[in-house]
Amino acid sequence: MKGRILYITKHNPWSKGGGPYASYIYLIAFLSLFKDYQIDICLSSNSIPPKEFLDNTNINIIRVPRRNTVSRIFSIFTGITHRYQKIALNLINQNVYDYCIFDHSSIAGTLVNFLHSNTKSIVIHHNFERVYYQDNSSSIIMKKLFLPHVINCEKIAYAKCDINIFLTNEDQKQFEDTYGSNQKKNIVTGIFDVNPIQINPHNTLVSDGSIKLAITGSLDNLQNIDSIQFFTKYLYPLIPENVSIIVAGKNPKDDIINTLQELDRVKLIANPDSIDDILNDTSILLCPARLGSGIKIRVSDGLRNGIPVIAHTTSSRGYSEFIKLGYLYSFNTPSEFANRLFELINKIKHNKILSSDIQNAYRSICSLTNVIEKIENCIRSL
């Protein structure tokens, strides 16, 4: 063994959703990079690692239960909004770690100051957290109580961690504009694929002569509820009547269900077993999310499956290379959406955009090997 690493992840890497998926792919990337190290991985107690994790003698899984009620209440004063603080401090005091990897600024912000001087720290910023929290918190009271802690943890993580990993260039710039220069190593890795799917053998995106449009993503948080409301009110009336629409996602709220049931051409699929199966029979992926920060993982679902994407400018962050290639169309207003949709439908019908080309571009741009190499070079430069 070369050394020892502590890895702490906020999300359950094997559950559904954008945050868990990002946690999963970065966990796989770091396990590949540090395959010769002993790694202590702190996970939430509801996480169920696959057999290959449990059988790997280099990996020590530490499953951490939820905090008790008293601890959660006192987090208003302590600013500790995660379950790992006590166990992580014990591990840090008992072991000499070469690296500590924090999969979220909220975790890094409360722990980085306790690391030994010879331990190098890495934080993965899923987004610009203060904006994400503001856009996804429904309680004004909770927002006022916890937003200062969110900002403080993010600021500490950015200033104190030796390496800051960002998912988009826009996030990095927002950090620099807000918190200034941190004199640390900062890299943008974007999203990437650890389990490439087989290239779609059907180059055409019109399987039965009709155009099919899909909207995917969790349907139980504020930013996605807003995106569905934005879609139904402003975008749906602009979609040609011969285009069928599928909305698929987990845990749709009642008002979402009721709203979509009133639209003749929309089919709702709640809690689908596989997004890939849905996208395999789709011509276009639409991402109308206009709130939040970071990268929208559902956009990569479309590109990975060889499906062109139309996305709001907020949802287009991190995908500039696909915009340049003409595989992702960005819009800001309903009229821009209508123009992009008409242009994309015309290309699809005339086979000027092929599914296999999109998948090949995705495999090239979003390569696990590229990301590992970028992180490894950054670590070597410390």
pLDDT of residue 1: 67
**Distance of alpha carbon 312 from alpha carbon 294, whole angstroms:** 13
223-239 pLDDT, tens per residue?
888 999 999 999 999 99
pLDDT of residue 207: 64
Residues 364-375: b if buried by 16+ CB within 10 A, e if exposed: ebbebeebbebb
Say how many residues make up the chain: 382
Q: In Å, how far from its chain's centre is CA 136?
A: 15
Asked if pLDDT for residue 135 goes beyond 70, the answer is yes
Percent of the chain past pLDDT 70, that is, above it, reads: 97
The angle that helices 254-261 and 222-230 make with each other, rounded to 10 degrees, is 10
Sign of CA dihedral 39, 300, 206, 225: positive
Average pLDDT taken over every residue of the chain = 92
pTM over 0.95: no
318-345 pLDDT, tens per residue?
999 999 999 999 999 999 999 999 999 9
Coil, helix or strand at residue 46? coil
Coil, helix or strand at residue 163? strand
Asked if pLDDT for residue 27 goes beyond 90, the answer is yes
338-361 pLDDT, tens per residue?
999 999 999 998 889 999 999 999
Contact 285, 301 (CB under 8 A): yes
3-state SS record for 121-134: EEEEECCCHHHHHH
pLDDT of residue 144: 84
**Distance of alpha carbon 191 from alpha carbon 174, whole angstroms:** 18
**Distance of alpha carbon 235 from alpha carbon 113, whole angstroms:** 48
Contact 14, 24 (CB under 8 A): yes
Q: Which residues contact 244 (CB under 8 A, 6 or more apart)?
A: 210, 211, 212, 213, 265, 267
Q: List Cβ<8 Å contacts ≥24 apart for 235-243.
A: 235/286, 235/288, 235/334, 235/337, 236/263, 236/266, 238/334, 238/337, 238/338, 238/341, 239/213, 239/265, 239/341, 240/211, 240/345, 241/265, 242/210, 242/211, 243/210, 243/211, 243/212, 243/213, 243/345
What count of Cα atoms within 13 Å lies in the side-chain half-sphere of residue 308? 31
Mean pLDDT of 132-146: 78
Asked if pLDDT for residue 291 goes beyond 60, the answer is yes
Asked if pLDDT for residue 134 goes beyond 90, the answer is no
pLDDT of residue 16: 83
Mean pLDDT of 353-372: 93
Backbone angles phi, psi at 83, to 5 degrees: -90, -5
Mean pLDDT of 117-144: 86
The residues pairing with 124 across neighbouring beta strands, listed in sequence order, are 165
Which range has the top average pLDDT, 163-177, 254-268, 290-304? 163-177
Asked if pLDDT for residue 201 goes beyond 60, the answer is no
Percent of the chain past pLDDT 90, that is, above it, reads: 77
The CA radius of gyration of the chain, in Å to the nearest whole number, is: 21
Beta strands, E only, 45-134: 59-64, 99-103, 120-125
144 or 25: which leads in pLDDT = 25
Contact 188, 128 (CB under 8 A): no
pLDDT of residue 204: 63
Indicate the pLDDT class of residue 203, thresholds 50, 70 and 90. Answer: low
Beta strands, E only, 223-283: 244-249, 266-270
**Distance of alpha carbon 112 from alpha carbon 89, whole angstroms:** 10
**Distance of alpha carbon 263 from alpha carbon 33, whole angstroms:** 48
79-104 pLDDT, tens per residue?
999 999 999 999 999 999 999 999 99
Indicate the pLDDT class of residue 202, thresholds 50, 70 and 90. Answer: low
